[in-house]
Structure 1
């Protein structure tokens, strides 16, 4: 364990800290690792929450309204990222709709959202290695990708990630294999730093110590549980931790969110009072005032009802109504937090006058006796348009 911690520390300090702060969007391109796929089965539902999802969750307190845009696709190589052929993931296999290659889609998104994207994460090259492709050409293509992204987003935090080595599991000569895989990651590092990107290397964590790697591989990769080379949940968490540390986001101060006092009056829609509800640990709805609210920059007002926390405290339901009298869809994001830590998020689009019950899956069980905060954002509002809080 001490050796693993030392390796993690070494990996954290290896990359220079970035100076930019997170913007409105994280943009990710790459292969099955940022996609979060298990056993190369996109669309099957067999996937982990990837490190891209984890970054989105962690960045939201630093940049309210932060959203991840993930164009990655299982099987992608550095050549397929560039194109000109379209990404192999189409239709419901795409997390975020796009046309053309991943790089073309990323450049188009950056052009449409100048100054609004940071960080940008590139994870590619692993399939080049597995396919036996020319590694000199692979390194050159990583340089081409990062140079193009840097030119399109000169102030963004740009990250290239490396890989662990799942094929080392149970193999003799692990020290030599470790050195060979480290040399592969060094190619990615050289290409990344040449374009002014930060390189994040999970290899010292996933494969440490070099001469006895099996414990680390079985922790951070699925090679032991399912003969699967992809990162485990712990592996994705490690990726997120490494990226977070390399970008220096611990030093970024979250914005102060002041909760204004509700205006005096009878609670009409024009006054936009804040509504408070009480989730019950037994799952029973407790009546509470309801209100129509309009947030700064919102496209339409919405109405929110009292939330209900499930008996197992792993999900929360809240009803939402699009109360707009304008012919615009309400775009609503519901975020559940406890103790300042995000537990879950759900998105819903509703036509004017329509009502829906939104179920927010919680990534961890809500603790008893502690305040739960439900923040609802309408449209592009950077601040919650309503907060429902209770114990």
Structure 2
């Protein structure tokens, strides 16, 4: 078995801020538990013809047991490994974890049966066979998760002063904060709309988690029901809003994602809501808050520890790349102890 230092981690995202903060935070966590440095790459433009041509060169294997893990924002970022040291044999094993794997049409031609990657992991369970068949690489499902262990460092039982929190893009009928606030106020409910986001990804993640811990319910809906220029036109997916909410013990109101990964969310966390209008959605919110159980946050956080924590996914990577990671082992044992102490 290799030591934790025998892996390099590259994280390729358009930036480190905004919606990419959860991905860079994942990369930082992965680097820490492997005791490895993380190289952050933010391409300023799409990869050009020269790199695409270079990528078609065969990859030699060597490197004395070293591995490379690429955490890629989308399949097009697989081209980032088309560098001379990688293709010349710096690594024995190269694996890639594709975050927005639902953009499978962006899969580069060089990755199709070129034997460049020893392992692939995708966040969309529906597409495992698609990637395996397209690339010839063993492909597994590592769905979107959350740092539930970190959330446990905070007091999840503290009084929650916000009834309803808005997080991220919303269905059209729920997109205007002033309208939302007025409607919820008439119903006797408090509302927190858009809050300032930090430019630094890690700081932004801390802000999001802090806001979630202050709220009983967060508004979050399916990507297909929440218009944006960057969503996939036909595929739904599980995003950080949902998993982070569960880790912080916050109920989720809206239209749940319609995808395989959504089955990992506990039923107790979901408040299905008609998002076609404010009037249609308010009854579900009122009912959820009238019956709100102050013990729910602990149950939700326990589910996140057991099912959603990133370390379970990283353990799969460690096993399949034949890596040891003492810090990862220790923190998984800590998760096991917490789950046992807090009950089923």
Higher strand share: 1
Name the TM tier (shorter chain): 0.3 to 0.5
More helix by share: 2
Work out which structure has the larger RCO, using CA pairs closer than 8 Å and 6 or more positions apart in sequence: 2
